[in-house]
Structure 1
């Protein structure tokens, strides 16, 4: 517009203003809302101080100018043009802009435009503008928090929860969001209090406004935050960090090359880092980045909103962590701690009672051994539930493996102690041990074997309570097994042997609170003696009585386990024993004696296989061992053949070649029977082979 023309319009506007009444002038000048008047060509005729402040321009650069030329400061021309075209008012139309006077911050306005008419003829338009920046921002924050409460934590999955935060925060709040969780969270754990150093973090969530944009690390990968950066500072004092301008923080960016590359690539200019904490537990970090789509930097109000989003996310991640921990513990206990079914044997009738606790892990087992013998084991691993349960599972597996080798109890515990020492070294080398201040590794175990043929009981203890034995007359006493050192100390163990009357009740118990609360443990032990004294009750009934009378109401905080077994003895006519001199003719005599006994037992269908086993094992004694040939047959649910000698040589299973004339003995025994093995005893060894009594 020519300068003279602009001056003319300005002069007219001034005259009109001077002609207005004082009331009208005061209203126009003092109104907090922006007021503007336009002619039919959308030139500004009048503007009050409020709208001039919104535009950030003086009156001389507004009045008389075309509205479209002023749009960079406040885009009103589309609204006023619509009003003039439709000749009807437009109410509360939202307008957002980044004015040149404040380019780093978005301003929001509510615009009402209405036409001006005189005698039915259009003479211009007017606009009323309200600055609603604060109201819009608060409403956006409330809406975002409402969405967060509704969408974050839809499942008990920590990774999905982290990703849900990124999806609601981008693009409304940030241009990119990354969530990194401590790796320990995925094991159901979390460190307490501030975290110093460089903990291993797992990238659990990331989202960027631009499709195809990727973060410094892919989801699922692990990384460490460099020191010092806002990330490690937030972990160190658990306070959020606001970096209004990345340009002023180039020093710490030099310490973290990959994240610095992401910031440069994405054009990030401002960021917020918030720790994810719940009740003092540190779970991870949430990082919010702003780039070109959000030219305004984060401020203190944004920091407050980010902190609230992080708090909601942390609560849901902690729920997922707790669920993972509880589920893992329950699964471990179910699969590793409790035997699914007790084996049916001629040695004992057994049952158990188990009460999980808040600290440590108990385990027990009933193991079938060779020659109808039985092995009973019970143990306790103190410590946090999840690590203790894992150790317990490994120890139980080791005991089962060692018991299958027919080792006596004291030797078995020595080998189990080697396993415990290795577990202790693994624990000491684990960084989480120092982080969690875990106590030194320790565990207790009691292992006992019982032979229903000889009624001999052999036991050894590694720091565990001695079992109780109830005689057939109801007298309860301790078995008197020396306690020994706990597992992992590298010390030997003492073997204790005794004869048990048939019908005796063995009670192996474990009270996790015995060392921490000895008075309570002694009281429960007294009630336990009363419960196991009932000679008329079977093991299952005794376990029920213990559950109600001993553990109910005053249950130990750290759990308890009870394994009871009533002993049996094998009928004399189910065992046959012979001794033959180490001569070739003895093999024929052994076969004849075996055949006669099988016919007496009605096992004629098993004569062929049993003849072969006896012949091979007796021949091995003559050729490779020394002393007399001691042959024993045991009839139970299976048929067991034992051949003993005075030698401690180790038999080996060989696969003979076609041209070999020997070497097939043990291979044939192994092929024709269900199980076979070697058991070492004082003064020699026993080779045994077990057959199923199914129809031959």
Structure 2
């Protein structure tokens, strides 16, 4: 007897040991043979071994301790390759008998008509069953779902002799309602001389088919594939609804027939959920649904969970549960949902709460229907991992919504809430929805009935963008009150941005503000209704578009300076342009640059005709722009310019002598009477005019001009040819002069000085009683 057997076979007929003699005799190398079924080895498995093995003759079996068999060469050698005698053939037949009676793999021997000749029967019950099945067609033995495919597979092996290995087919599972099995079939043709090659001369005796139930393996692979699909396809977005839709799309129909995700309504608004079980009064919104049939409640429906249902229990104890729906005692508590489940034939429910740190975010309900495999407890760990990942993605999206809501509210509060009507300029704005960038704009009332138009953009996002936007907007307002020209205002805004950037650089490295340098753009324009000119300067922002009343359009030829916050400090130049009556000045965000072309841009087309109401023009622009993610949050400031109405102002050139104050008082009194502004307002205005003209004659140079403007208030302007600035003095008790500007400051709401190349203008503004103009 040899020192070692040819091979070792376990109780299931699987090779667990393989010798070099077996390699010489049967062909496969050790690495290839381990794990093969002994029937495959004896039949000559060309797919695994690459050749055809020896006949089963010349073999001897010996039982091993425990379970299994040792297979020896009958001549006591280690596989000399010699053919066995008739006695050896008997031993080979004994091996087959053992395999048929003790192996756990179900083996069927079929005749050429595919009728059952023999079936393995490890137990007495199987033996009785095998006797009843003998003579039946193989397609009817295992209750296959597609018997035609099974029969075609076996006949192909019978015709060609090429073995078919581990071919999966589905079969009904009689003992589990709605369940199915997956069976792996391996088939070999039987010929006279079992070692005959395909196409040989031996007579075809039939076919051997082994059947292995691989339902558990298939289920495990199915669960692993579903978990991988969730890991790969869910959680990549900061949108709660999208995350929920991605989940049901990843699971339906490969893992579940129906998938439903319901989210706590407050979570969708970005609110932080309370820890602990969910109360009955807390509403959930159906965020996603996918699968067969019609849902009981549509996506978007908001309702509370009915008490006594498995959904309520899952939200109460925060446990995943698998339930059979064949007997649903809770159906009366939620009749609409129970009726929907009956209509789609759902037989199993797997319900999982979505929780983060003990707080409930929502609920996932998965159903299997019809003849699908029912959910089992083996699905619970997999769904638990899915729910944890999805809950984390939803919580991240909730946090983003929370921060976005705060940032959006803050940005909206920083934008002008309303625009005061002006006699010479009509303004309106458009802020496209979505996005969290710092797009901002403003309309500023300036002295002399002028209007400042501002638009800017901050490169940051969220709350940081709102913070920077608020700082820059405040600075622009403060500088505009100084009556600076647009280029001068932006020059000082560069200084402010540089200081803000320096402060940001001094923050700790861990501070989010220190992670990104300050970068912003700004365009500032001033419209003067008396000259009908608009002066514009830009710090890195696109030049405005001008659309004239006849439809002609052009982009202002503006030298754009560097953005705010950069090291480049090139000089900023302002451009003045003459506007026609009724022209539209369009200041827009950088994202709208491509739509602001003067000939074919969407902005120009939407703004024609130009004489429509401003709100209607903004609505037309919103409709014309595409639904593009890059345009979300973009801003547009629209201004229609007019000349100053002649009945709202009066102007005179005064003599440059001592008679000028008296002349100014007389002209002022008459004009105020025409405007019905007499009494205290008239007296105060005459005193202001007298003091301003006196200073111009005493300290200025000709020409001296007086202009009264009835605009947001009553404005008095004195222009002279000197650039010397007046300043307020506080006169002593016995001083004879020095009280002029102090008196003006007490009588007027505002006063100041603005400069021009030809001199200066000192102005004061008074509020009109009752606010009427």
TM-score calculated relative to the size of structure 2:
0.47
Cα distance in 2 for residues equivalent to 1:432 and 1:688? 49
d(CA) in 2 for partners of 1:545, 1:157: 30
Structure 2 counterpart of 1:570, from 639, 644, 650: 644
1:333 and 1:524, CA in 2 relative to 1: closer, same or farther beyond 3 A? farther
Contact 1:475 1:533 in 2 (8 A): no
Cα distance in structure 1, aligned partners of 2:576 and 2:416:
26
- Could you list the per-position Cα deviations for residues 601-644 of structure 1 after superposition, in whole angstroms to 9, with x for gaps in the alignment? 33333331121011111111233333332211122342211011
Query: For 1:431, what is the secondary structure of its paired residue?
Result: coil
Residue 564 (structure 2) aligned to one of 484, 487, 493: 487
Do residues 665 (structure 1) and 740 (structure 2) align?
A: yes
Aligned mates of 1:160, 1:477 — CA distance in 2? 50
Query: Does structure 2 conserve the Cα–Cα contact (< 8 Å) formed by 1:469 and 1:505?
Result: yes
Task: Say if 1:430 and 1:617 are closer, same or farther in 2 by CA, change over 3 A.
Answer: same
The one of 503, 516, 521 equivalent to 1:444 is 521
Equivalent position to 1:594, from 634, 650, 668: 668
Q: How many residues align?
A: 403
Q: Tell me, in whole angstroms, the C-alpha distance in 2 between the residues paired with 1:349 and 1:501.
A: 14
1:334 to 402, 407, 412: 412
Specify the alignment match of 1:380 in structure 2. 457
The more displaced of 522-531 and 552-561 is: 522-531
Q: 2:470 aligns with which of 393, 398, 420?
A: 393
Q: Which runs of 5+ in 1 are unaligned?
A: 1-151, 166-274, 277-306
2:705 is the alignment partner of 1:630: yes
- Residue 550 of structure 2 is matched in structure 1 by 473
Change (3 A) 1:478 1:661: same
Q: Does 1:611 align with 2:675?
A: no
Alpha-carbon shift at residue 522 of structure 1 (Å): 6.9
C-alpha distance 346-690 of structure 1, shift in aligned 2 (>3 A): same
- Secondary structure (helix, strand or coil) at the match of 1:391 reads helix
CA-to-partner distance for each residue in 1:372-391, whole Å, 9 max, x for gaps?
11111111111233212211
Instruction: Report which stretch shifted further, 378-387 or 323-332.
Output: 323-332
C-alpha separation between the residues in 1 aligned to 2:765 and 2:678? Answer: 16
Q: What residue is the counterpart of 1:501 in the other structure? A: 580
* Structure-2 separation of matches of 1:610 and 1:364: 34
Match of 1:464 among 525, 534, 541: 541
C-alpha distance 159-364 of structure 1, shift in aligned 2 (>3 A): closer
Choose from 621, 624, 627 the match for 1:553: 627
Q: Does structure 2 conserve the Cα–Cα contact (< 8 Å) formed by 1:507 and 1:532?
A: no
Contact 2:425 2:642 in 1 (8 A): yes
- Is 1:641 matched up with 2:716? yes
The structural deviation recorded for 1:411 is 0.5
Aligned ranges 1:103-502 → 2 under 5 Å: 318=396, 321-336=399-414, 338-358=415-435, 360-432=437-509, 438-489=515-566, 490-502=569-581
CA change 1:463–1:356 in 2 (3 A) is farther
Report the Cα offset of residue 396 of structure 1.
1.1
- Structure with larger RCO (C-alpha < 8 A, sep 6+): 1
Q: What's the CA shift for 1:362?
A: 0.4
Q: CA deviation at 1:156?
A: 11
Deviation (angstroms), 1:693: 3.0
Q: Report how far residue 557 of structure 1 moved.
A: 4.6
Work out the CA distance in 2 between the residues paired with 1:657 and 1:609: 23
CA distance in structure 1 between the aligned counterparts of 2:631 and 2:403, rounded to whole angstroms: 19
Which of 557, 567, 584 is 2:658 aligned to? 584
Higher normalized helix content (fraction of residues) = 1
Any conservation in 2 of the 1:379–1:446 contact (CA below 8 Å)? yes
Give the distance between the partners of 1:327 and 1:438, measured in 2 at CA: 22
What SS is found at the alignment partner of 1:584? Answer: coil
- Relative distance call for 1:157 and 1:533 in structure 2 (3 A) is closer
1-side partners of 2:698 and 2:598: how far apart?
A: 60
- Aligned partners of 1:366 and 1:374 also within 8 Å: yes
Q: Tell me, yes or no, if the aligned pair for 2:549 and 2:609 is still in contact at 8 Å.
A: no
C-alpha deviations, 1:235-276, integer Å up to 9, x for none?
A: xxxxxxxxxxxxxxxxxxxxxxxxxxxxxxxxxxxxxxxx99
Aligned to 1:674: 749
SS at 2:601's partner residue?
helix
TM-score (norm 1): 0.52
Aligned counterparts of 1:656 and 1:525: Cα–Cα separation in 2:
64
- In the alignment, is the contact (CA less than 8 A) between 1:513 and 1:556 conserved in 2? no
Inter-partner Cα distance in structure 2 for 1:331 and 1:657: 51
Alignment CA distance shift 1:157-1:360 (3 Å): closer
Question: Rg larger in 1 or in 2?
Answer: 2
Residues 343, 367 of structure 1: 8 Å contact kept: no
Q: Is the 8 Å Cα contact of residues 555 and 597 (structure 2) preserved in structure 1?
A: no
CA displacement 1:643-692 (0-9 Å, x = unmatched): 11222223223343333332221121121122221111113211111223
Indicate if the aligned counterparts of 1:595 and 1:607 stay in contact, CA closer than 8 A.
Answer: yes
Alpha carbons of 1:692 and 1:613: their partners in 2 closer, same or farther (altered >3 Å)? same
Is the 1:511–1:558 Cα contact (8 Å) retained in structure 2?
Answer: no
Match of 1:694 in 2: 769
Q: How far did residue 327 of structure 1 move?
A: 2.9
Alpha-carbon contact 2:270-2:405 (below 8 Å) kept: no
Describe the shift of the 1:433–1:569 C-alpha distance in structure 2 as closer, same or farther (beyond 3 A).
Answer: farther
Deviation track 1:400-430 (CA, whole Å, cap 9, x = no partner) reads 1111111111101111111111222223233
Question: Structure 2 CA distance, aligned partners of 1:671 and 1:418?
Answer: 33
SS of the aligned residue for 2:659 comes to helix
Distance 1:442 1:638, change over 3 A: same
In the alignment, which residue of structure 1 is the partner of 2:602? 527
Which secondary structure does the structure 2 equivalent of 1:401 belong to? helix
